[in-house]
């Protein structure tokens, strides 16, 4: 993991196992949505708990950049009708560990969405 300490990596992995189950994969490149199935309200609750546990400020983090909405999302339904699916940016354990050390989210949005 880039410049992230082993202690932070282990703390993030322990948090993931605590919240998502002991058998959850905890490799740095494990993706929360794609590999662990975290999405919707569960993702929101997880990320709020993560921010609280590791004192991470929101910064430019937007939940919708990484996860889908809970239940039926009318906007996504209309997009899918026109062939424009929501493209989420994978959120990995490496990114969580980096945020835990930095204490703020930086650069988590897709490049085309940045101002």
Q: What is the pLDDT of residue 59?
A: 87
Q: What is the pLDDT of residue 68?
A: 79
Give the DSSP letter string of 37-98. ---HHHHHHHHHHHHHHHT-B-TT--GGGTSPPSS--HHHHHHHHTT----PPP-BHHHHHH
Q: In the predicted model, is pLDDT for residue 110 greater than 50?
A: no
Q: What is the pLDDT of residue 88?
A: 74
- What's the pLDDT tens digit per position in 38-93? 999 999 999 999 999 999 998 889 888 898 776 555 555 555 566 555 567 899 99
Please state the pTM of the whole predicted model. Answer: 0.78
The domain limits of the chain are 6-108
């Amino acid at each position: 993991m880039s410049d992230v300490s082993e202690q932070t990596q282990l703390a993030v992995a322990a948090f993931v196992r605590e919240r998502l189950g002991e058998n959850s994969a905890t490799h740095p490149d494990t993706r929360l949505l794609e590999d662990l199935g975290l999405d919707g309200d569960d993702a929101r609750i997880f990320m709020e708990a993560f921010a609280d546990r590791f004192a991470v400020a929101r910064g430019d983090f937007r939940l919708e950049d990484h996860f889908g909405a809970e239940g039926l999302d009318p906007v996504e339904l209309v997009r899918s009708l026109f062939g424009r699916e929501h493209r989420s940016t994978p959120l990995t354990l490496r990114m969580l560990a980096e945020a835990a050390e930095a204490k703020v989210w930086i650069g988590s949005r897709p490049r085309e969405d940045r101002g």
